[in-house]
Structure 1
């Protein structure tokens, strides 16, 4: 059996008033602020990608975690702050 589709007019008018209307849900607890992140595309040669993928599978970790570990080592080898220092939240 097919149901009758809701018309655009019914949607634009909003919910019906009266006891049949569902009450608004209580406001959700404020989520803690998230750190800003930026997306970066990395182009890997196919053999490098395959090896990284296999390593992540064998160690049961995500490829992203291995890439972040590598960036942390690059920063530290060059005398720069590591990922922990860069992403630490300031204490109040």
Structure 2
């Protein structure tokens, strides 16, 4: 699998997406992320294959990364993130 990392998340407010996830599901895996070199190309390839995206256009994520989420209905029920590393992310 190569280089990998685990991020531990906590809610920033009672209304945050993480707080709502924990309330509904309890503690556990929130999502899985995959690093990609070119996020626009990755999105285009997935959409061409019929993948449902939450983010059809990349947005800014943690650590200067550009991110986009695949809808769980297109990824076996698992919320899946595409992540293009930022230039200053080491």
TM-score range, shorter chain: under 0.3
Which structure has the highest helix share of the two?
A: 1
Higher RCO (CA 8 Å, separation ≥ 6 residues): 2
Task: Tell me the TM-score normalized by structure 2.
Answer: 0.22
Task: Tell me the TM-score normalized by structure 1.
Answer: 0.21
